[in-house]
Amino acid sequence: MADLLVLCNVTDEMRTRLDGGFEYQLAKDLEDVDAWMETQGAAVEYLLTDGHLGVPQNILAGLPNLKAISSYGVGYDSIDTTVTNARGLPVSHTPSVLDDEVATTALLLYLSVMRNFPAEVAHAASGAWERDGGLGLSRSADNRKIGILGLGRIGKAFARKMEPFNADICYTGRSRQDVPYRYFADLAEMAAEVDALVCIAPGGPATHHLVNSEVLRALGPEGVLVNVGRGSVVNEVALVAALDAGEVGGAGLDVFENEPHIPQALRQNPNVVVTPHIGSATVETRRAMGDLSIDNLLEFKARGRMITPVPECSHLFE
Ligand code: NDP
């Protein structure tokens, strides 16, 4: 009987590690998960999911003896922690091990938009340079004012990566931190002062559409928006409208409101660079995330604790 149900994709390396600790069942190998849970669900004590899939209601209902949930990824806005807490279910995630990777993705998007890099690459590769001459000038990525919405683990890694570009960093969030960067309590006020607004905040109701038309207008016609946090943080309709009206200069986006859908208006805008939610998507970082997500389950099984529980459930271990 399986004691672990795996909802998310797992690599061969993760499978090898799971083999050593659990009797596991991959949901993707089941024709009907609900029918399987009716006969086998009572034996399942652990659940492995990811930040995209979360923990669907039918899964929670079908696993009456669940003891712990491990989520692959740092964002867990897809998991309702009031529901898991009500059942006394600890949830872990995979913070810190992906900070540099996601920060690099934000840096790449920032540089790509400022220097018009994807268009330059396509121009050279297509042979258009020889035929039509060069494209127009891009804008310097150096000596810019950069405002970070969400100066957390990844936000701080991004700020460090901007140091060689002589960036003047400021930030906003719910609280002022002990960092050498200027704090803004108001997002629109910060947007009005910066060349680029970089969003690395979590999703969920508290951050939903924080970047709205007022913030975008404040960012201005030369301003650039980068979003590697969650698509829900930016009002996508307002962003398309602001780009079309020339109220915002450009955008570099790794996350979207209805993934994997990316609005055509964003995909085809020459001032916008889009990537398919690849913030942490390298062999090395995904390996580290896989290891941590399994280590959390092994630690819980062996000692009743988790290495990186989400803050909302840490009281369950006190
Ligand atoms: P942290 O918890 O370390 O940082 C989050 C930051 O957001 C904090 O500085 C916090 O500051 C701020 N914040 C939280 N809530 C609010 C709010 N309501 N209003 C304003 N600011 C807020 O998280 P990480 O840096 O580890 O990760 C950040 C997010 O990045 C993840 O939640 C995930 O959604 C996203 N992510 C995206 C990836 C990708 O592939 N593109 C990969 C990995 C993560 P304060 O508490 O002061 O408000």
Q: Which amino acid is at 69?
A: I
Give 52's DSSP letter: T
The rounded Å distance from CA 285 to ligand 1 centre is 18
Provide the pLDDT for residue 117: 98
Q: Tell me: the pLDDT tens digits for 223-245?
A: 999 999 999 999 999 999 999 99
Determine whether the shortest distance from the Cβ of 175 to ligand 1 is under 6 A.
yes
Domains of the chain, residue spans: 4-95+283-317, 99-274
19 has pLDDT over 90: yes
Give the number of other CB atoms < 10 A from CB of residue 145.
16
Active site residues: 230, 259, 277
Q: Whose CA is nearest to atom 23 of ligand 1?
A: 152
167 has pLDDT over 90: yes
Determine whether the shortest distance from the Cβ of 229 to ligand 1 is under 6 A.
yes
Q: What distance in Å separates the CA atoms of residue 279 and residue 276, rounded to the nearest whole number?
A: 9
309 has pLDDT over 90: yes
Provide the pLDDT for residue 256: 98
Exposure class string for 176-197: b at 16+ Cβ within 10 A, else e: eeeeebeebeebbebbbbbbbb
Q: Tell me: the pLDDT tens digits for 63-103?
A: 999 999 999 999 999 999 999 999 999 999 999 999 999 99
Q: Report the topology of domain 99-274.
A: Rossmann fold (3.40.50)
Q: Tell me: the pLDDT tens digits for 203-215?
A: 999 999 999 999 9
Ligand 1: residue of 97, 102, 254, 256 to mutate (most ligand atoms within 8 A of CB) is 102
Provide the pLDDT for residue 297: 98
Provide the pLDDT for residue 48: 98
Percent over 70 (pLDDT), the chain: 100
Give 181's DSSP letter: S
39 has pLDDT over 90: yes
Q: Confidence band (pLDDT; 50, 70, 90) for 112? A: very high
Provide the pLDDT for residue 284: 98
Determine whether the shortest distance from the Cβ of 252 to ligand 1 is under 6 A.
no
Q: Confidence band (pLDDT; 50, 70, 90) for 61? A: very high
- Give me the mean pLDDT over the 139-156 stretch: 98
The domains spanning 4-95+283-317 and 99-274 adopt the same CATH topology: yes
The rounded Å distance from CA 77 to ligand 1 centre is 10
Q: Whose CA is nearest to atom 21 of ligand 1?
A: 173
Provide the pLDDT for residue 277: 98
158 has pLDDT over 90: yes
318 has pLDDT over 90: no
Ligand 1: residue of 81, 94, 154, 209 to mutate (most ligand atoms within 8 A of CB) is 154
Determine whether the shortest distance from the Cβ of 174 to ligand 1 is under 6 A.
yes
Q: What distance in Å separates the CA atoms of residue 309 and residue 92, rounded to the nearest whole number?
A: 4
Determine whether the shortest distance from the Cβ of 94 to ligand 1 is under 6 A.
no
The rounded Å distance from CA 206 to ligand 1 centre is 11
The edge-to-edge listing of strands for the beta sheet with 68-72 is 24-26, 4-6, 46-50, 68-72, 91-92
The rounded Å distance from CA 142 to ligand 1 centre is 25
Determine whether the shortest distance from the Cβ of 228 to ligand 1 is under 6 A.
yes
What's the CATH number for 4-95+283-317?
3.40.50.720
The rounded Å distance from CA 15 to ligand 1 centre is 29
ipTM above 0.95, yes or no: yes
Q: Confidence band (pLDDT; 50, 70, 90) for 124? A: very high
Provide the pLDDT for residue 152: 98
Give the number of other CB atoms < 10 A from CB of residue 253.
23
Determine whether the shortest distance from the Cβ of 51 to ligand 1 is under 6 A.
no
9 has pLDDT over 90: yes
